[in-house]
Structure 1
């Protein structure tokens, strides 16, 4: 402590003042008064040194705490019930420690999510890549029949389209997770939205001879992004078509009130098991009734898009009775 420059300067000033006071006491009063001044000054210097040493010890403890915190030990509790600058400093350090602990926990969770995502993506890409490698080797056979060559080539094209869709979907999801997607705030008419979103699934619906029912006022609307909302509905429609048996029905209804605009999409297909319902919006989750070609990312994307527009997405389902998707876009209150 005495090696610190500020303490040395402090002691020199204190001693100079004490000597000046002693000399003045001898000249103006007597030696007894000078002795009293000397003793009093000595006691004050000693008390000051003891107090300063205590403060330096406390600061040294805080420095030790900070070193432990920087090394990753966030379990320290520095708070006390006293008043004063050191107590305030301890409380502030404790608050910072809590924030660092929360950030560390979030980073750890992000690492786990990233690891799981990479594992899931690798698993999803492995199957089509393996299939294409096998068929590419077969195509190299000069004795391969033309019909088989056409079949394998078409199969490779389908697998490439699947990989392209998967990569594109993951890029969109990553942008939404990062908050870099600029969702527009336009007036979206639900009738036009449904008409646009249903187009990509009309052919598979026709193949399975599904009946489509659409009910709703053309003036029903909400504030959102038309293109991204279309993307969400396409994924929901694809799920309905995939899980509805031949000659089944798909119903779409929409309405609007003072609180929200609601879209209800229903099918009379296989339904979703009760134990799968809590996880259907989880990426790469495949329920018991999922098809072999299902990746488990469509509903996750639809959920992210709707939630990113301050909407609500709910699913109700019963085995062998079908599934209902409830989408709500709430009115903006100023």
Structure 2
């Protein structure tokens, strides 16, 4: 500590002041000189001890910071006292807790990324393996023409599946990264629903399913028409997929001073109580899911809706059908 330039300067100043004080006291009286000498020694000693204690505390904090930099966030240096050092300790502790929370979040995101990559690899592996096998079969010159057409069509289906998966993942990643700018235009709900129904009408016709739409054609909310349609399409696909032939899908919508609500119901096989809490989790496939299901459509729907100041609620039970309720809360628009 003595080698510290600040300490050397402090001792030099204090000694100089003490010598001057002793000389002045000696002029007045030898007794005052001795008294001043003793007092100076005591003051210099007290200052030295106090400075040594502060440097020891700072050294402790430096060691604490080194431990933090190495990833140890378990230490607690708070002493619940008054003073600058105590304030510094408290701020360091707060910073440590914040770093600990951020580290936990990063670890969780790293785990989620690892799981997502694993899920994506699994989803791509199946169609790629299927296409590889069918490509080898097509190359056989003795393969009948009808089989060649069948395999070619199957390859096209698998390619469409891969294209949809990659496109959906790109959209989700953009939403997660906050790079999607959702428009704030007036969306007429009746037009939105009829637009979202178009991609599933053929499947519904094949399965002889019916759909009913009920609501005032003036009901609206402020949001992004195309992205919201994307969310509704994924929900409708889920309803069509899990509703038997001849089933029914009901859509209703309304609004009040707080929110605009869209309700989509089906009379299908429903969602089990065990699966219900996880249906919006990416790549989650419930026990009633089809073999071709990826488990990403509902996750995307939730991300789109929540990004537009909305919520999705679901009510269901096995053999009781499923009901999705979307609420878009109103806000002030200039």
* TM-score, with length taken from structure 2: 0.97
Structure 2 gap segments, 5+ residues each: none
* TM-score, with length taken from structure 1: 0.97
Asked if 1:148 is matched to 2:147, the reply is: yes
Query: 1:243 deviation in Å?
Result: 1.0
- Name the counterpart of 2:280: 281
- Name the counterpart of 2:319: 320
- Name the counterpart of 2:5: 5
Query: 1:189 deviation in Å?
Result: 0.5
- Name the counterpart of 2:187: 188
1:174-225 deviations in Å (ceiling 9; x for gaps): 1111111101111100000011100001111111111111111110001111
Q: Which structure 1 residue ranges, 4+ long, deviate > 3 Å from structure 2?
A: none
1:273-304 deviations in Å (ceiling 9; x for gaps): 11111111111111111111111111111111
Say which SS state the counterpart of residue 222 (structure 1) adopts: strand
Q: Distance in 2 between matches of 1:316 and 1:35?
A: 92
1:146-179 deviations in Å (ceiling 9; x for gaps): 1111111111111011001001101111111111
Say which SS state the counterpart of residue 147 (structure 1) adopts: helix
**RMSD (Å), alpha carbons:** 1.1
Structure 1 gap segments, 5+ residues each: none
Alignment of structure 1 residues 22-41 onto 2, 5 Å: 22-27=22-27, 29-41=28-40
Q: Distance in 2 between matches of 1:24 and 1:96?
A: 52
Q: Distance in 2 between matches of 1:267 and 1:32?
A: 104
Asked if 1:112 is matched to 2:127, the reply is: no
- Name the counterpart of 1:272: 271
Q: Distance in 2 between matches of 1:172 and 1:329?
A: 21
- Name the counterpart of 1:210: 209
1:25-57 deviations in Å (ceiling 9; x for gaps): 222x12222111111111111111011101111
- Name the counterpart of 1:99: 98
Q: Distance in 2 between matches of 1:318 and 1:81?
A: 54
Q: Distance in 1 between matches of 2:274 and 2:332?
A: 36
- Name the counterpart of 1:17: 17
Query: 1:321 deviation in Å?
Result: 2.8
- Name the counterpart of 2:162: 163
- Name the counterpart of 1:260: 259
Q: Distance in 2 between matches of 1:325 and 1:81?
A: 52
